[in-house]
Each structure stands twice: as C-alpha cells, then as structure tokens.
Copies of this chain bind each other. A is one copy, B any other.
Amino acid sequence: MELDERKKAILQAIIDDYIVTGVPIGSQTFCQKYMKGLSPATIRNEMAGLEQMGYLAHPHTSAGRVPLEKAYRLYVDRMMRISPLKKSEVELICSYFAQKMDEVEQVISRTASVLSDTTNCISMVLAPQLKLVRIKAIQLVLVTEDKALVLIITDSGIIRDAFISISSGIDAGYLQMISNMLTEKLHDLSTSEVDEAFMEMSNSIVEHTRFFHSVVDALREKIQPSEQRDVILGGTNNIFKYPEYYDIRKAGDLLQALETKDILFKLLSKDSDMKFTITIGAENEYEQVRDCSVVTATYSVSGRKLGSFGVIGPIRMNYGKVVPILGCIGSCLNEMLSGIGEPQRSSK
C-alpha cells in the first residue's frame, strides 16, 4: 500500500491531535475536527490502511487510533511544521538570561530552568566540557597558611578551582613560581593532553614532589569530566503533567533512572553532526528511556562545540515547539558564554 498525500495529511492530523490531547481519536471525532468534507467511513478505511502500514494502532477494538513510533519518526523527519517562536516566547526565554551571570554554573542552571519551563519536559544540560578547550594558565593562590587555591584558566572563559592543603613553609613566591612553571608547560594544551605533560614533568621535578603531586592531582580531578558535576537536571516535576505518568511506578522508575545522571551524561555526550537529534522511544539506546523521546542540541562558542543540552519527555511531546525552543536557547547560551569568556569591552 502506498502512503499517498491524503493518508499523509490524515496521519499528520492524528499526530497533531494526539500530541495535545493524549487520547486516541476515532473516525467520527476526527472528521468533525479536521476533515468535515469526508465521511467517517472513509477515514476508517484510510486509518485501517495506516494501521496496516504500521503507523497507527488502537489499544482495543472500540478505541480510536494512536500514532506509533514509526509515525512520529515520519512526522519529525518530513511532516512537522516547525513554527517560529512568537515574539513573546522569545522574550520569555531571553528574560531568563537577562540577569547578570558571571559564572558558567549559573548560566547552565538557568538554562535548565528555562528549558523545562518552556517545554514542559524534563531538561538536562551538559556543562561545557573541558576536553574541548585549551588551558591558558594555571594560578596558585595562597589562601591561608595551610591551604591554597588552584585556578585553571581556559581560553573559553571556563575557570575551575580546587582547594589543596599545603604544608607550612610554602610562601606566595614559591606558589607563583610553580604557577608560572605549570602555565608554561601546559599553556595551549588541550586538557586531554595534560596527562602526558604531567608525566614528562614528574621526571624533571624532584624537589617538593609531595606538594607538586597534590597540585597535579587536583588539576587532574577537576579536568576530568564528571557525571555528577557536569550534568544538571531541571523540571523533574513536569513529569506529573502527563497522564502517561499517572502510574506512580512509571514516574518513580524514570526519575530514579535519571537521578544517577549516568544515562543523561551518555545521552548528552553522544555527538553527532546534526544541529538537533531527536530520538523516539525504542530508538533510544538506554532501556530506561525507551518510552520517552529525547531531543538534544549542542551549543558552541565562537564555532567551537562546548557542550549540549536537551529535554526528555513523553513520546507524544510537542516536537514542533521543542525544536525552535532549543534553537533559541542555543543562541542565548552562545551569547552568554562568549560574554563570560571573551574580553569584555571596557564598560563605557
């Protein structure tokens, strides 16, 4: 059987309807709402065809039809109307970023909020991944007589800090010397190359090895990606808005699975060359999100991809709205982060 134009139109209407109502639609209601020109019987025939082709199903004999994953796939690939956001929506999103934000963490957590608030889905954001940036400098600062701060300064504005304990007798001058040395050795290296550089160094430094090692350990730890630190989650309560999760066990299981962040990290780390990835239900690699859809996008600063973000929601999520929202938030992120990272014009 062929998927002719009319079938396509019917399928699209069914999906559009199901996305907002969440209930199966029957031939009669369908005619009234979408195709007054045709009789229910005709629609029934067409629906039967679509069902045979694997696009639709009905939960039981006397129920209306619901779209299957194959239908959603077709929908997002070829039928979805990506309506540009309304001005008010864009303004709403921008307002989340209007506040002054100095630190990357703030931007990231703001992003999670705006994402979940505007899409009504669970949002996830992967913080900028250090492996993609280059080290600009290392700065050690004496804080108290037994404690120092290690600052890792990168070329994309991300700064990470770590406290280390020091034994007494180490003074600011010595710390500055170590800072200079580390900066010189590590300058312009990508963070994936530092381990090598450390190896090389440990041969040449013999003096003060204990102190040196504690600095290196701190650096290494902070540079490594960490699921717990790098993935943040937002709007988990949105799950309660969808009837498909009124079953408390389903809701609990999903939230439990997300809490470990393991899966989220993997979902967000998988890179693709697409601007957006949409993964529908069983297409998902991880069992725990097989009855969800996942939409992700990446953000970048001055052309370099730094991290990604996205939403998890029911399979009938409003793809046509989620996609432009991700787009808009992506641009905001880009702007915010380059604001933080790059030298700012001296305030006039």
Q: Which residues of A contact B (CB under 8 A)?
A: 102-103, 136-137, 139, 141, 143-146, 149, 151, 153, 159, 161-165, 167-168, 210, 236-237, 240, 245-246, 248-249, 251-252, 255-256, 259, 343-344, 346-347
Query: Residue A162 contacts which of B102, B139, B153 (CB distance < 8 angstroms)?
Result: B102
Query: Residue A251 contacts which of B151, B162, B248, B256 (CB distance < 8 angstroms)?
Result: B248
**Complex-state Cα separation, A256 to B248, whole angstroms:** 16
**Complex-state Cα separation, A139 to B139, whole angstroms:** 14
CB atoms of B151 and A159 under 8 A apart: no
CB atoms of A143 and B151 under 8 A apart: yes
**Complex-state Cα separation, A252 to B153, whole angstroms:** 42
Q: Chain B contacts of A344 at CB under 8 A? A: 146, 165
Minimum C-beta distance from A143 to chain B (A): 6
CB atoms of B136 and A144 under 8 A apart: yes
CB atoms of B146 and A149 under 8 A apart: no
CB atoms of B248 and A168 under 8 A apart: no
**Complex-state Cα separation, A137 to B168, whole angstroms:** 18
**Complex-state Cα separation, A146 to B102, whole angstroms:** 12
**Complex-state Cα separation, A240 to B347, whole angstroms:** 51
Taking A143-B151, A161-B161 as given, write out 11 further A-B residue pairs in contact, using a Cβ cutoff of 8 Å, ordered by the A residue number.
A103-B163, A137-B144, A139-B143, A141-B151, A144-B153, A159-B163, A165-B344, A167-B346, A168-B346, A237-B259, A240-B249
| A interface, over-half SS | mixed
CB atoms of B164 and A102 under 8 A apart: yes
Query: Residue A143 contacts which of B146, B153, B252, B347 (CB distance < 8 angstroms)?
Result: B153
Q: Are A343 and B145 CB-contacts (below 8 A) given A102-B164, A162-B102? A: yes
Q: Chain B contacts of A149 at CB under 8 A? A: 141, 151, 159, 161
Minimum C-beta distance from A203 to chain B (A): 24
CB atoms of A139 and B136 under 8 A apart: no
Q: Chain B contacts of A146 at CB under 8 A? A: 343-344
Q: Chain B contacts of A246 at CB under 8 A? A: 248
**Complex-state Cα separation, A144 to B343, whole angstroms:** 9
Q: Chain B contacts of A210 at CB under 8 A? A: 347
Q: Chain B contacts of A236 at CB under 8 A? A: 236, 255
Q: Chain B contacts of A159 at CB under 8 A? A: 143, 149, 163
**Complex-state Cα separation, A136 to B146, whole angstroms:** 14
Minimum C-beta distance from A335 to chain B (A): 16
**Complex-state Cα separation, A208 to B141, whole angstroms:** 24
Q: Chain B contacts of A144 at CB under 8 A? A: 136-137, 153, 343
**Complex-state Cα separation, A173 to B347, whole angstroms:** 22
**Complex-state Cα separation, A325 to B139, whole angstroms:** 41
Interchain residue pairs with CB less than 8 A apart (10): A102-B162, A102-B163, A103-B163, A141-B141, A143-B151, A146-B343, A236-B236, A237-B252, A240-B249, A240-B252
